């Protein structure tokens, strides 16, 4: 046998084995790189998904707070309208002070609404000296805040001018009407503040939901198999968040919602 042929065969086999080993090593490196990239992509994806969900929940809380507050304020406005009508109609009474009892009943109901209007045990329409007297909603990118109004103070002021002044004196009666009118304006301003606050939160929620759709579509078009982690985040999840928002915007406040949420 030709010794050169044996040597050439051995060298050829050695080179072949080395090439296979090199290809295997390179393949492993590529697989590891792809695996690490996949894990990183999934991790970032889940972080974004979690942030979106937390944002929607926070914004949903703020929308619920606004709706509950506006619902109670509308009822308080009805009480003030009734009180104003009683003051105006008292001109036909011989003793105008006789309307005090009826007005006081309205003021008690007004005050009860102020103190009973809560969300997660937080007062929304009254303020306390030692408490946080602002409503703040935080997301990962924005902070929304508005100052609370102590609507109970309106009732206290009206009570004072109605009960501590003789309403048979024209100037006292006129002053009582003016105080009620002023309280009605302040209450209307408070309602508008909550309405504007709610609109800001709704717009932010819509933006976040839109970003969720973009994230979902982006991952859907990538040629990567995300497995269970990616599949968990589907259109169902997005639609659920839309549902949360819709619930807050729609009929979240019913007749007994204040007590149920307090």
pLDDT tens for the chain, 262 residues long, are 554 444 444 445 544 555 555 455 555 544 454 454 444 444 555 555 667 778 888 999 999 999 999 999 999 999 999 999 999 999 889 999 999 999 999 999 999 999 999 999 999 999 988 777 999 999 888 999 999 999 999 999 999 999 999 999 999 999 999 999 999 999 999 999 999 999 999 999 888 787 777 766 766 655 444 444 444 444 455 455 555 554 544 444 443 343 333 3
Instruction: Give the three-class secondary structure for 145.
Output: strand
The SS3 call for residue 143 is strand
Q: Which CATH class is domain 48-261?
A: mainly alpha
* 8-state DSSP, 44: H
CA torsion sign for 90, 95, 97, 101 is: negative
Alpha-carbon distances, residue 71 vs 2, 52, 65, 190, 252 (angstroms)? 102, 28, 10, 12, 10
pTM of the model: 0.68
Q: What are the residues facing 146 on neighbouring strands?
A: 135
Number of residues that this document lists for the chain: 262
How many angstroms separate the CA atoms of 255 and 111, rounded?
17
Taking the CA atoms of 175, 160, 105 and 100 in sequence, report the sign of the dihedral they define: negative
E strand or H helix that includes residue 7: helix 3-89
d(CA 202, CA 145): 14
């Amino acid at each position: 046998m030709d010794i050169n042929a044996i040597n050439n065969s051995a060298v050829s086999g050695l080179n072949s084995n080395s090439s296979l080993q090199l290809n295997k090593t390179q393949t492993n490196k590529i697989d590891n790189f792809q695996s690490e990239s996949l894990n990183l992509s999934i991790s970032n994806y889940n972080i974004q998904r979690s942030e979106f969900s937390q944002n929607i929940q926070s914004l949903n809380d703020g929308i619920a707070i606004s709706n509950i507050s506006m619902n109670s304020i509308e009822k308080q406005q009805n009480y003030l309208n009734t009180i104003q009508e009683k003051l105006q109609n008292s001109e036909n009474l011989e003793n105008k002070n006789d309307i005090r009892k009826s007005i006081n009943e309205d003021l008690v109901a007004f005050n009860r609404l102020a103190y009973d209007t809560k969300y997660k045990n937080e007062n929304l329409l009254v303020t306390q000296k030692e408490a946080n007297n602002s409503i703040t909603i935080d997301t990962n990118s924005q902070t929304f805040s508005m100052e609370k109004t102590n609507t109970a103070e309106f009732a206290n002021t009206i009570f004072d001018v109605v009960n501590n002044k003789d309403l048979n004196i024209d100037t006292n009666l006129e002053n009582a009407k003016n105080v009620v009118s002023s309280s009605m304006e302040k209450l209307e301003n408070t309602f508008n503040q909550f309405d504007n606050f709610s609109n800001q939160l709704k717009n932010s929620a819509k933006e976040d939901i839109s970003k969720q759709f973009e994230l979902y579509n982006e991952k859907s078009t990538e040629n990567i198999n995300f497995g269970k982690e990616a599949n968990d985040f589907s259109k169902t999840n997005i639609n659920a968040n839309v549902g949360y928002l819709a619930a807050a915007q729609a009929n979240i406040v019913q007749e007994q919602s204040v007590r149920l949420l307090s």
